[in-house]
Amino acid sequence: MKNNQKYSNLIKQEAKRLGFENCGISKADFLEEEAKNLEMWLKNGYHGNMQYMENYFDKRLDPRLLVDGAKSVISLSFNYFPEQIQNNDTYKIAKYAYGEDYHHVLKSKLKELTIFIQENIGEVNGRAFVDSAPVLERAWAQKSGLGWRGKHSLLIQKNKGSFFFLAELILDLELEYDTPFKTNHCGKCTRCVDACPTQAILLNNTVDGSKCISYFTIELKEEIPKSVKGKFEDWMFGCDICQDVCPWNRFSKPHYEEKFIPNPDLLTSMKKDWEEITETVFKRVFKKSAVKRTKFAGLQRNIKFLKN
């Protein structure tokens, strides 16, 4: 038991050194409460055309099916709140996509953390996850004591807000486990619910993903339906409305990660610049960005939908 505490402290210290804001640890177990929620969410079709959400149902709920002999889930948060944001009168991009693709940036940090664990603790097996596999990251973050899930379904940390990425390390190592975060500090506030222009945020702490602006501008591959015309408030890739209006984000502070600093053109480009963007400029401005996920044609489609 003494070693569990020692190892947990070692891991948390190294995570902090690598730039992670918070690190919490929970026992790798079946997420019983989440099973009903996920089943109902899929049954209601809130995943829209994201068919992949129907895959690996059991693996999403049990980390022991992802890593043999899994004993611990290490949840980490990494701040991405920018120092500068885009011009007011422009087509907008979600802040998480300002810099380099977070999948790659955080994956390399998790690799470093894994090597540190193996060198300082011993033969430990596991896998790193950054929003790229069937892991219910917000559930694990809450279970690990990092924060609570707001009405917009994103994890909120007291005095830090919600502008951070989540990542996980699932290990076959027993550690000291943190107390789950039980209190919801949203209270009666409904600012995110009221502000969502497509009414994607439901009052029962559920998000209808098929109505979310991020879904339409990133996930949806066909034409955007005319029924949501005029409701995007100039968001051409993703959306931050529910986070921007959240009172907890008044505590957000700029990140220190160089790789998340945006290309200057992203901050200064006006609507006309985006409307006239060429594929060459797209590749230069978004060289290593998550925006590449929508491809040049996808961004053009989104801009055309906003413009006309």
Report residue 251: phi and psi, to 5°: -90, -5
Instruction: Show the DSSP H helices in the chain as ranges.
Output: 2-17, 32-43, 57-61, 102-120, 137-143, 191-195, 213-214, 241-244, 264-268, 271-275, 279-285, 295-307
User: What is the DSSP-derived secondary structure letter of residue 167?
Assistant: E
How far apart are alpha carbons 169 and 302 in whole angstroms?
35
How far apart are alpha carbons 173 and 73 in whole angstroms?
9
Q: Nearest Cα to 237, choosing from 192, 299, 145?
A: 299
Phi-psi region of 230 (alpha: psi -120 to 50; beta: other; left: phi over 0): left
How far are the Cα atoms of 27, 156, 261 from residue 118, in angstroms, in the given order? 19, 31, 31
In the residue annotation, 131 being an active-site residue is answered as yes
How far apart are alpha carbons 272 and 274 in whole angstroms?
5
Q: Which residues pair with residue 78 across a beta bridge?
A: 165
Residue from 29, 62, 131, 273 carrying the catalytic annotation: 131
- Catalytically annotated residues: 131
